[in-house]
């Protein structure tokens, strides 16, 4: 019976009988944490800092040039986020940070509405000690920053209030990014696993299992929410539902996600790829090829894919090979993970 | 997978079978003191089963099913258990526990499907199901005579998507109308996300009149009221599944009574609430009726409350847990999970114990105890 999450011991002590699989998953888990997650949050934290500095410069000297500089910093930061977006686990789950970093899809325009209210109100409220911890997630991160930099309702070069608001949001965003990066530097994935009753509980394997489940889930989100839904692959087209549509990052975000997938697969020694090759070489290679194919197909899409005046039919036709390729990747990944002895979720994935 | 239409064309050759199963009391004499539990399980996406296991977690019998199932149903007197197909469900299979024979299959009437749950009246003479009249999307309650399976009454559930129901007493059925309109031609796709309006309805089984009905406010119209249980004091516990955004801060558990207009949301510490991922699985009171347990497979935990004081007690962590049933011991529950675990958990004594793990199988959503 546990109420608060139990932080698992940092290592299995020498006196503890070794589990049959103890250490088996250390390679890929540590590799993913070090090369994808920690490095990813480090970059994200650094680009959040640049973004905050550029918005300060914009507000100090509003001009097209400083606005452009801030927008450029935003784009770098939003793409750094794509590297770690697949993992809603660990430090990013605190204070709803994951959803605050990116409030998307914002189908009802909540971000714009709340930003307008904040811009019209007393700016001093944003300096209150607990303002940002209790503030709506819609105004705490990249979605809000994108609105302030790109949405026609906001004019940071003309309005002191809008620019001040932009400065406050980017400062909070930097603080959150730094906090997550630091928590990852100071800890490890196993610290965030909830201990369970029963013998044979292996926190390393459970942590990696959660990673793999999140990866599978994210792959679905890339195919469905990022690609199919906005272009109306199965229903009505609504391009404004594309991720970071206003800053024209929708396609580049997908490309970045797909690149991060290969990094996950090859991180660590041994990596998942290397372990999978021992178990089922054909499947391991199929998945590897599909991941490479995903990247290739995403890069082949026209850079104005989400913006140019294509018909829905034309856009769907262009997307079809990539949709199929990601779909194949999902199947391969699910099979591979299962064959490696991980649970991909039964009731949790498909309950009623 | 069996298609709906192909299934409906199958003749119900078993209907009309004479039920000769012994009583639970007779069976209990043969298996002194043995407690049995029933649950559906799957080996993979294609192979689905229904099984019984004992208090040590040992499987004592199982049988292959046509398709994935959802919740067992236990006859109160005769040694008969049934299993209801998962939504959209088109079969309910019944078995004689003494012989393990499949004794009957009940199918929904034309243009209807089951929701995965069913129950017997306390005298065992009637079987009650919640069904979807899918051309209209309206929820229905069917009362069938047992064992003939003949429909003797049907009522509106007074809502859409009646997922589960329990008896408050012999005359009153409490129904969770989950609010989700679906059509089997589109599998489980929600067709009314913008207009859904779930409720809990207290239905008079004599005439189908509504004795009480409560719901969430308009802002929470996407908060599907899905599963429920009732204790010996007439308190109904409700578990929700939210269809809106993952980040919305919504209540997930509530209490209701027949004489109470509003739902009473139970407190959950925010760090626990977010772990639910907007999804409650099974809802279950313990044997004493004092403790409420709610499982969340997405959160990998069971949460507990003391009902009288409406106090949150804590959680039992268990990955992919969903099956939940009260044991004969006060405050104790048996839990089953999608990773094959069976464990007992007592949140008052703060003890839990894994009784068995079947790593190759996935216990499905709901678990029932057989009171022999």
Please write the tens of the pLDDT for every residue from A173-217: 999 999 999 999 999 999 999 989 876 789 999 999 999 999 999
User: Which residues of chain A neighbour B300 with C-beta distances below 8 Å?
Assistant: 194, 348
pLDDT for the residue numbered B3: 39
Tell me if A74 is assigned to some domain: yes
Q: What is the mean pLDDT of residues B335-357?
A: 97
Q: What is the pLDDT of residue A199?
A: 66
Q: Of A186, A206, A223, which residue constitutes the final position of a domain?
A: A186
State the pLDDT at residue A14: 30
Mean pLDDT of chain A: 92
pLDDT at position A134, please?
Answer: 84
A229/A273 same-domain check: yes
* B59-65 β-sheet, strand order: B59-65, B48-54, B36-42, B362-370
Assigned domain for A11 exists = no
Domain check: are A96 and A170 in the same one?
yes
Output the pLDDT for position B53.
Answer: 96
Same domain, A204 and A331: yes
Assign residue A51 a region (left: φ > 0; alpha: ψ between -120 and 50; beta: otherwise).
alpha
Question: What tokens does B136 get?
Answer: 């209209």
Does A345 sit within 8 Å of B297, measured CB to CB?
yes
Q: Summarize pLDDT for B137-174 with one digit per residue, the tens.
A: 999 999 999 999 999 999 999 999 999 999 999 999 99
Pick the residue from chain A with its C-alpha nearest to B339. A343
Tell whether A162 and A302 lie within a shared domain.
no
**DSSP states along A36-87:** IIIHHHHHHHHHHHHHHHHHHHHHHS-SHHHHHHHHHHHHHHHHHHHHHTT-
pLDDT of residue B11: 32
Number of separate domains in chain A: 2
Share of chain A above pLDDT 90, in %: 85
ipTM of the complex: 0.91
Statement to judge: residues A179 and A225 lie in one domain: no
Could you say which of A130, A156, A186 is where a domain stops?
A186
Q: Are residues A34 and A95 in the same domain?
A: yes
Residue with tokens 């829905």, as numbered in its chain: A312
- What is d(CA A227, CA A312) in angstroms, rounded to the nearest whole number? 13
Structure confidence at residue A133 as a pLDDT band (50, 70, 90):
confident
The answer to whether residues A171 and A220 belong to one domain is: no
pLDDT digits (tens, 9 = 90+) for A272-310: 999 999 999 999 999 999 999 999 999 999 999 999 889
Cα separation, A241 vs A230, whole angstroms:
5
pLDDT of residue A308: 86
Question: Does residue A105 have a cis bond before it (omega within 30 degrees)?
Answer: yes
Can you tell me the distance from the alpha carbon of A73 to that of B317, in angstroms, rounded to the nearest whole number?
42
CATH at residue A313: 1.20.1420.20
How far apart are alpha carbons A6 and A194 in whole angstroms? 6
The band of A106, judged by pLDDT with boundaries at 50, 70 and 90, is very high
Sheet of B138-145: strand order equals: B112-120, B126-133, B138-145, B151-156
**Interface contact flag, A351 B341, Cβ < 8 Å:** no
How far away is chain B from the Cα of A4, in angstroms, using its nearest Cα? 8
Computed over every residue of chain B, the mean pLDDT equals 93
* Listed residue (A39, A299, A348) closest to A185, CA to CA: A39
Residues A30, A176 within the same domain: yes
Grade residue A114 by pLDDT with cuts at 50, 70 and 90: very high
Which is more confident, B255 or B35?
A: B255
Answer with the residue of higher pLDDT: B35 or B157: B157
Do B338 and A343 count as a contact with CB atoms less than 8 A apart?
Answer: yes
pLDDT at position A130 is 85
Chain A environment of B41 (Cβ under 8 Å): none
Is A146 a residue whose pLDDT tops 70?
yes
Contact B339 A96 (CB under 8 A): no
- Is position A350 within any domain? no
- The residue range of the domain holding A170 is 26-186
Is A269 a domain residue? Answer: yes
Contacts of B353 in chain A (CB under 8 A): 197
Dist. CA B304–CA B294, nearest whole Å: 7
Q: Is the pLDDT of residue A22 over 70?
A: no
* Structural domain includes residue A115: yes
Domains along chain B with CATH numbers: 4-370 (2.130.10.10)
Nearest-CA neighbor of B138 among B118, B159, B154, B124? Answer: B159
Q: Are residues A144 and A206 in the same domain?
A: no
Residue A138 and residue A207 in one domain: no
Is A345 in Cβ contact with B314 (below 8 Å)?
no
Domain membership of residue A100 (yes or no) is: yes
In a domain, A3, yes or no: no
Q: Which of B42, B345, B347 sits opposite A346 (nearest CB)?
A: B42
Which of A100, A347, A350 should be substituted to probe chain B, the one whose Cβ sees the most B Cβ atoms within 10 Å? Answer: A347
Yes or no, beta carbons of A352 and B297 under 8 Å apart: no
pLDDT level of residue B23 (50, 70, 90 thresholds):
confident
The answer to whether the CB atoms of A343 and B320 lie below 8 A apart is yes
Statement to judge: residues A53 and A162 lie in one domain: yes
Count of A-B CB contacts under 8 Å: 89
Distance from first CA to last CA of chain B, Å, rounded?
A: 34
pTM: predicted TM-score of the whole model, two decimal places: 0.90
**Is A199 found in the same domain as A160?**
no
pLDDT band for position B29 (cuts 50, 70, 90):
confident
Of A186, A217, A250, which residue is a domain's last? A186
pLDDT of residue B5: 34
Residue B209: pLDDT over 50: yes
With an 8 Å Cβ cutoff, is A93 touching chain B?
yes
């Amino acid at each position: 019976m546990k109420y608060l999450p139990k932080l698992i011991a940092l290592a299995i002590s020498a006196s503890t009988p070794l589990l049959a699989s103890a250490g088996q998953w250390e390679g890929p888990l540590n590799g993913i944490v070090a090369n994808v997650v920690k490095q990813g949050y480090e970059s994200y934290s650094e680009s959040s800092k640049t973004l905050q500095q550029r918005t300060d410069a914009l507000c100090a000297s509003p001009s097209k040039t400083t606005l452009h500089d801030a927008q450029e910093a935003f784009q770098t930061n939003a793409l750094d986020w794509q590297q770690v977006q697949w993992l809603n686990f660990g430090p990013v789950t605190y204070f709803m940070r994951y959803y605050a970093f990116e409030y998307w899809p914002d189908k009802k325009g909540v971000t714009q509405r709340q930003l307008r209210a904040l811009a019209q109100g007393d700016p001093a409220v944003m300096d209150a000690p607990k303002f940002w911890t209790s503030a709506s997630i819609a105004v705490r991160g990249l979605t809000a920053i994108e609105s302030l930099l790109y949405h026609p309702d906001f004019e940071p070069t003309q309005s002191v209030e809008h620019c001040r608001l932009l400065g406050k949001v980017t400062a909070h965003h930097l603080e959150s990014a730094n906090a997550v990066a630091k928590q990852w530097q100071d800890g490890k994935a196993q610290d965030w696993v909830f201990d369970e009753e029963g013998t044979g509980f292996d926190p390393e394997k459970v942590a990696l299992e959660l990673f793999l489940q999140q990866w599978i889930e994210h792959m679905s989100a890339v195919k469905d929410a990022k690609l199919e839904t906005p272009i109306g692959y199965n229903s009505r087209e609504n391009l404004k539902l594309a991720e970071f549509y206003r800053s024209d990052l929708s396609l580049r975000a997908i490309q970045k996600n797909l690149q991060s997938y290969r990094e996950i697969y090859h991180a660590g020694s041994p990596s998942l790829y290397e372990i999978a090759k021992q178990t089922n070489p054909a499947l391991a290679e199929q998945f590897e090829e599909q991941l490479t194919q995903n990247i290739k197909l995403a890069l082949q899409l026209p850079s104005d894919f989400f913006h140019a005046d294509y018909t829905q039919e034309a856009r769907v036709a262009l997307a079809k090979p990539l949709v199929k390729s990601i779909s194949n990747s999902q199947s391969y990944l699910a099979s591979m993970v299962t064959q490696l002895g991980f649970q991909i979720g039964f009731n949790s994935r498909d309950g009623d | 997978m069996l298609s709906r239409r192909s299934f409906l064309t199958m003749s119900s050759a078993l209907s009309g079978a004479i039920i000769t199963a012994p009583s639970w009391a007779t069976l209990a004499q043969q298996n002194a003191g043995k407690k049995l539990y029933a649950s559906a399980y799957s080996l993979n996406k294609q192979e689905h089963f229904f099984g019984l296991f004992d208090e040590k977690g040992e499987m004592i019998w199982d049988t292959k099913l046509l398709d994935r199932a959802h919740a067992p149903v236990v006859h109160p007197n005769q040694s008969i258990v049934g299993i209801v197909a998962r939504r959209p469900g088109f079969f309910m299979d019944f078995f004689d526990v003494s012989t393990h024979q499949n004794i009957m299959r009940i199918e929904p009437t034309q243009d209807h499907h089951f929701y995965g749950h069913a129950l017997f009246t306390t005298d065992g003479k009637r079987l009650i199901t919640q069904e979807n009249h899918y051309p209209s999307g309206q929820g229905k309650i069917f009362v069938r005579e047992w064992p003939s399976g003949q429909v003797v009454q049907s009522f509106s559930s007074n809502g859409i998507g009646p997922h589960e129901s329990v008896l408050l007493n012999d005359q009153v059925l409490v129904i969770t109308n989950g609010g989700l309109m679906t059509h089997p031609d589109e599998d489980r796709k929600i067709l009314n996300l913008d207009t859904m309006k779930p409720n809990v309805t207290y239905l008079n089984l004599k005439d189908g009149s509504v004795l009480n009905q409560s719901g969430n406010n308009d802002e929470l119209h996407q908060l599907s009221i899905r599963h429920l249980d009732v204790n010996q004091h007439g308190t109904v516990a409700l578990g929700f599944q939210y269809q809106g955004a993952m980040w919305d801060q919504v209540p997930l558990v509530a209490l209701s009574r027949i004489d109470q207009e509003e739902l009473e949301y139970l407190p959950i510490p925010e760090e626990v609430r977010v772990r639910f991922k907007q999804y409650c699985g099974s809802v279950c009171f313990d044997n004493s009726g004092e403790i409420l347990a709610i499982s969340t497979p997405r959160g990998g935990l069971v949460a507990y409350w003391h009902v009288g004081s409406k106090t949150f007690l804590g959680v039992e962590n268990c990955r992919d847990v969903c099956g939940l049933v009260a044991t004969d011991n006060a405050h104790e529950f048996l839990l089953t999970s999608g990773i094959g675990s069976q464990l007992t958990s007592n949140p008052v004594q703060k003890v839990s114990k894994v009784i068995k793990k079947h790593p190759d199988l996935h216990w499905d959503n709901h678990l029932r105890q057989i009171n022999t």
